[in-house]
């Protein structure tokens, strides 16, 4: 089966947004062993969309449409496909109900154009939208599969992964099972990582190894093809172990892990409590940690100490440290960690200070960051970063490095990983 | 003139990378007033690429290709187009020289396959690559323009902007200036906003009005076509004023504004200081505010009070409020705002508490959020949200609503907008 992904939306053609849906669905389809031969983007225009559908039908078996299912006049994907295939649109009760619930919950009046979102192709498999109003659908006709999905990434991604993907998997032959496994690294550059596993990359065939760098992280996607899942995993694990031998020090997680989720897992699993005092990151470290459900047993709270006065008055930072070493210093970061740990009576205290940019902070150039971690009764450990990004890239990198160092430190101290 | 952007590269179809080039070039073309009707992505396959070229020729005047100009066997864009148009490939001296220099600089031996990169379509305008080796080119034939550009963003973006764009501009008549202006709304749904301006949407022609919803925000892009920029702005402002009459209450910014940047502008412009106490958002409000350079004169700091104990011990929350009203309540949010304002001696205090989810908080369903804002000596104002998203969507929405209410409150109190 070969697929084509058709994104519908003038905002894509105006360059207002980037087509991340095509990327997400392509990577999901490759895991199923479905070849994607084309991506197409067309605007909110019925005539041009119809031509795009006809071209896609002439060259692809699976047509996946994203966008154009919303309530407005612009949204015409469903209507155009229905007309083209000569199928009626009928109201889906369940979808209608969830749309009404959505407005009820928000105490908003539902305008009539929202009813349009509950219409589906008659005879199609309806895909529930857990994060929005417009349902998706799968329609089979003339040996073609038409899949209609909503445009917003936070709606289409879970809908595809949990509703559409299993239904597609059912239609595929069991032989030729494809399994992918992602290894996540931090603290090592893509080039250096590739050099260390160059021979594995050179001789790769099955499984394949695909490196990808983003947001300061490097991932390796190992993809194996085999008769069944067990066989595929045997191949994956053999390669995985060879990779870990070379660069295991930088491996922090797998698949959907994030640095913050791994840190949260370790904190919760070991019943450790944590607090943080943040300057340049201004709460981002604590917010990222709080992104993980169940964290409230570990993250008690913390402070944003943006100014020197607040550091002294609220956190109790000794004036001497600021005068002798400055606010962007190992001494300040370590003391922030120690003070917040004591103030909130937690097992761990983290301090983040630095010059996010664009301006330098005194004689400290933009991108200079100090991270302090206080744990048990040990003197705080401090780590220096010299980042080269823009203000908010630097702030995010600082937080990621803080999680990176925290995970390593906890592992060194013998705390279990999960 | 209408354009189609064809990206060539299997890595796009495997979902390894996202097609940011199409977005970049689309936004650049819209500035020139060139309509982009299609994006296409095809793999490193000569037969499929040839078909894509033929389809593009049948529907577009300007064909822009990105990728496939490199040294490897996979790179076959140039070769396929040359063969299709029956044009020879000839070595470009300048390009050849810069490739040799590139290797000399890096003390690397140039492998023969790199010479391939210096080949260009005979008779084409060559575009210099200042950030890589493969030159770009523009070839005119049969009233079609074929533009070949390299794939890496850091090569294609400057090449398009500084080499290709001016050459395209020369070919366009001046009497066709296009100007776009984005209006940003918060606190109103896309459907409701459209109902309020339905007549304007129905009768739109020049300027056009394109609604777009994302992350709880709704934007209207007004695009006018006129003889010159002044004329275009006259058209835009007329429509803009009509829109503001209907839904101006929800308008918070324009073009590249964000809720946090507008709030930061107002705080800085009015020399107001602010602090926050955050529960479910755990520092996200302060972190988003700190994303804006120069905010340190207004954002002094604040607290993350994740647990009830921390609310009492660190913030001074009266036990009675937690016992009588619960932590997810107007009383708690208002008191958090009042207490942090006093503790940090700021003009404004903001309190955020709620049940982010997935679990409910006692009898408060997931998505229930209370925002408190204390300003001057007034009793704190409180706002309730009933959000329906997933945990972290709810946390982000809560922060956006906090900025939304803060901006409105400051405006009501007569503080200047900028």
Q: Across the strands, what pairs with A137?
A: A126, A148
What's residue B72's pLDDT?
Answer: 76
Q: What domains, with CATH codes, occur in chain A? A: 2-172 (3.40.980.10), 177-254 (3.30.70.2860), 259-412 (3.90.950.20)
Read off the pLDDT of residues B261-292 as tens digits, 9 standing for 90 and up: 999 999 999 999 999 999 999 999 999 999 99
Residue A142 structure tokens: 């003339």
CB–CB of A406/A262 below 8 Å? no
Give CA torsion, residues B131, B134, B138, B140, to 10 deg. Answer: 180
**Binary contact (B358, A12; C-beta < 8 A):** no
**Binary contact (B43, A37; C-beta < 8 A):** yes
What's residue B350's pLDDT?
Answer: 98
> How close does chain A come to B102, measured CA to CA in Å?
19
Partner-chain residue, chosen from B41, B45, B359, that has the shortest CB–CB distance to A39: B41
What's residue A104's pLDDT?
Answer: 83
Q: Which of 26-55 (B) contact A at CB < 8 A?
A: 26-30, 35-43, 45, 48, 51-52, 55
What's residue A218's pLDDT?
Answer: 86
Reported confidence tier of residue A209, pLDDT bands at 50, 70, 90 = confident
Which residues of A are less than 8 Å from B41 in CB distance?
22, 38-40
**Binary contact (A36, B14; C-beta < 8 A):** yes
Partner-chain residue, chosen from B23, B42, B388, that has the shortest CB–CB distance to A106: B388
CB–CB of B372/B350 below 8 Å? yes
| Nearest of A120, A172, A104, A41 to residue B5 by alpha carbon | A41
CA nearest to B314 within chain A: A344
Which residues of B are less than 8 Å from A52 in CB distance?
38
What's residue B71's pLDDT?
Answer: 79
Report how far apart, in Å, the C-alpha atoms of B227 and of each of B165, B205, B230 are: 20, 16, 8
Reported confidence tier of residue A176, pLDDT bands at 50, 70, 90 = low
**Binary contact (B15, A37; C-beta < 8 A):** no
Mean pLDDT of chain A: 91
> How close does chain B come to A408, measured CA to CA in Å?
24
Mean pLDDT on B29-46? 91
CA distance B332 to B318: 9
Q: Where are the beta strands (DSSP E) in A233-347?
A: 251-254, 274-278, 299-305
- Ranking A41-55, B154-168, B236-250 by mean pLDDT, the lowest is B154-168
Q: Which of 75-134 (A) contact B at CB < 8 A?
A: 102, 105-109, 111, 113-114, 131
Read off the pLDDT of residues B318-372 as tens digits, 9 standing for 90 and up: 999 999 999 999 999 999 999 999 999 999 999 999 998 888 888 888 899 999 9
- Is it the case that residue A306 has pLDDT exceeding 80? yes
- Is it the case that residue A418 has pLDDT exceeding 80? no
Give CA torsion, residues A263, A269, A275, A280, to 10 deg. Answer: 10
**Binary contact (A113, B191; C-beta < 8 A):** yes
Q: At what angle are helices A77-85 and A46-59 packed, to 10 degrees?
A: 60
> How close does chain B come to A274, measured CA to CA in Å?
11
User: What does the longest C-alpha to C-alpha distance in chain B come to?
Assistant: 85
CA nearest to A98 within chain B: B388
CA distance B77 to B41: 12
CB–CB of A377/A348 below 8 Å? no
- Is it the case that residue A73 has pLDDT exceeding 90? no
Residue to mutate among A2, A160, A214, A287, with most B CBs inside 10 A, is A287
Partner-chain residue, chosen from B39, B48, B302, that has the shortest CB–CB distance to A13: B39
**Binary contact (B22, A19; C-beta < 8 A):** yes
Q: Across the strands, what pairs with B250?
A: none
Mean pLDDT on A237-246? 96
What's residue B174's pLDDT?
Answer: 55
Strands B62-66 and B144-149: parallel
SS3 content of chain A, % helix, strand, coil (to 5): 45, 25, 30
> How close does chain A come to B93, measured CA to CA in Å?
31
Residue A10 sits at the chain B interface (C-beta within 8 Å): yes
State if pTM tops 0.90.
no
Residue B324 sits at the chain A interface (C-beta within 8 Å): no
Mean pLDDT on A285-290? 97
CA distance A207 to A222: 6
What's residue A202's pLDDT?
Answer: 83
- Is it the case that residue B213 has pLDDT exceeding 80? no
Mean pLDDT on B396-406? 96
The SS3 assignment for A132 reads: coil
**Binary contact (B19, A14; C-beta < 8 A):** no
Scanning B217-362, the segments in alpha helix (DSSP H) are 229-247, 259-269, 284-290, 308-310, 319-325, 330-343
Residue B395 sits at the chain A interface (C-beta within 8 Å): yes
Read off the pLDDT of residues A326-355 as tens digits, 9 standing for 90 and up: 999 999 999 999 999 999 999 999 999 999
CA distance B345 to B275: 8
CB–CB of B413/B378 below 8 Å? no
Residue B160 structure tokens: 């398009």
What's residue A174's pLDDT?
Answer: 53
Residue A192 structure tokens: 């250096």
- Is it the case that residue B175 has pLDDT exceeding 60? no
Computed from CA positions of residues A9, A13, A18, A24, in that sequence, does the dihedral angle turn out positive or negative? Answer: positive
Residue B299 structure tokens: 């954002």
CA distance A77 to A80: 5
CA distance A267 to A15: 42
What's residue B377's pLDDT?
Answer: 87
CB–CB of A378/A334 below 8 Å? no
Mean pLDDT of chain B: 91
**Binary contact (A39, B39; C-beta < 8 A):** yes
Instruction: Say what percent of chain B tops pLDDT 70.
Output: 98
- Is it the case that residue A244 has pLDDT exceeding 70? yes
Residue to mutate among A41, A264, A399, with most B CBs inside 10 A, is A41
The SS3 assignment for B91 reads: strand
Residue B236 structure tokens: 């835009």
User: Chains A and B: how many Cβ contacts under 8 Å?
Assistant: 272
Residue to mutate among B14, B190, B193, with most A CBs inside 10 A, is B14
Reported confidence tier of residue A69, pLDDT bands at 50, 70, 90 = very high
Tell me whether 0.85 is exceeded by the ipTM. Answer: no
Q: Which of 243-272 (A) contact B at CB < 8 A?
A: none
CB–CB of B110/B103 below 8 Å? yes
**Binary contact (B38, A52; C-beta < 8 A):** yes
**Binary contact (B290, A305; C-beta < 8 A):** no
Residue in this structure with the two tokens 């905002």, named with its chain if needed: A11
Report how far apart, in Å, the C-alpha atoms of A378 and of each of A205, A334, A373, B255, B373 are: 49, 11, 10, 50, 40
Which residues of A are less than 8 Å from B301 in CB distance?
303-307, 310, 314
Mean pLDDT on B55-84? 91
CA distance A114 to A111: 6
**Binary contact (A15, B38; C-beta < 8 A):** no
Mean pLDDT on A233-237? 95
Q: Which of 184-213 (B) contact A at CB < 8 A?
A: 189-192, 194-195, 201, 210-213
Residue B286 sits at the chain A interface (C-beta within 8 Å): yes
Q: Which of 351-380 (B) contact A at CB < 8 A?
A: 356-359, 367
CB–CB of B382/B371 below 8 Å? yes
- Is it the case that residue B234 has pLDDT exceeding 80? yes
- Taking chain B, what is the end-to-end CA distance rounded to the nearest angstrom? 40
Mean pLDDT on B157-164? 90
Contacting residues for A301 by C-beta, under 8 A, at least 6 apart: A275, A286, A344, B303, B304, B305, B306, B307, B310, B314
Give CA torsion, residues B250, B251, B255, B258, to 10 deg. Answer: -60
**Binary contact (A305, B306; C-beta < 8 A):** no
């Amino acid at each position: 089966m070969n697929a084509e992904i058709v994104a519908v939306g003038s905002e894509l053609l105006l360059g207002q947004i980037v087509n991340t849906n095509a990327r997400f669905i392509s990577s999901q389809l490759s895991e199923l062993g479905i070849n994607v031969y084309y991506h197409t983007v067309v605007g909110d225009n019925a005539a041009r969309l119809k031509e795009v559908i006809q071209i896609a039908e002439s060259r692809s078996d699976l047509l996946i449409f994203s966008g154009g299912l919303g309530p407005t006049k612009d949204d015409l994907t469903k209507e155009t496909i229905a007309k083209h295939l000569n199928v009626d649109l009928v109201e889906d009760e369940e979808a209608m109900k969830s749309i009404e619930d959505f407005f009820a919950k928000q105490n908003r009046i539902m305008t009539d154009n929202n009813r349009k979102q509950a219409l589906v192709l008659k005879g199609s498999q309806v895909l529930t939208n857990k994060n929005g109003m417009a349902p998706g659908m799968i329609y089979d006709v003339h040996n073609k599969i038409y899949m209609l999905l909503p445009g917003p990434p936070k709606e289409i991604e879970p809908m595809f992964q949990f509703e559409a993907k299993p239904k597609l998997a059912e239609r595929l032959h069991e032989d030729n099972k494809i399994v992918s496994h992602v290894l996540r690294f931090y603290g090592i550059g893509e080039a250096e990582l590739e050099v260390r596993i160059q021979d594995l990359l050179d001789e790769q065939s099955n499984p394949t190894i695909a490196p990808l760098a983003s947001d300061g992280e490097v991932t390796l996607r190992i993809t194996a093809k085999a008769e069944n899942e067990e066989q595929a995993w045997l191949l994956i694990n053999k390669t995985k172990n060879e990779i870990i031998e070379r660069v295991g020090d930088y491996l922090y997680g797998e698949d959907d892990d994030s640095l913050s989720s791994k840190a949260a897992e370790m904190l919760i699993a070991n019943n450790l409590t944590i607090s943080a005092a943040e300057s340049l990151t201004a709460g981002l470290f604590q917010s990222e940690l709080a992104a993980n459900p169940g964290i409230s047993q570990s993250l008690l709270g913390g402070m944003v100490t943006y100014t020197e006065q607040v550091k002294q008055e609220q956190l109790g930072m000794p004036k001497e440290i600021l005068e002798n070493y400055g606010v962007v210093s190992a001494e300040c970061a370590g003391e922030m960690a120690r003070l917040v740990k004591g103030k909130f009576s937690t097992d761990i205290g983290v301090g983040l200070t630095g010059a996010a940019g664009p301006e330098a902070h005194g004689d400290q150039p933009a991108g200079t960051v100090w991270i302090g971690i206080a744990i048990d009764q040990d003197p705080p450990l401090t780590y220096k970063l010299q980042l080269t990004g823009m203000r908010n890239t630097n702030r995010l990198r600082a937080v990621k490095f803080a999680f990176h160092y925290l995970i390593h430190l906890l592992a060194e101290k013998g705390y279990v990983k999960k």
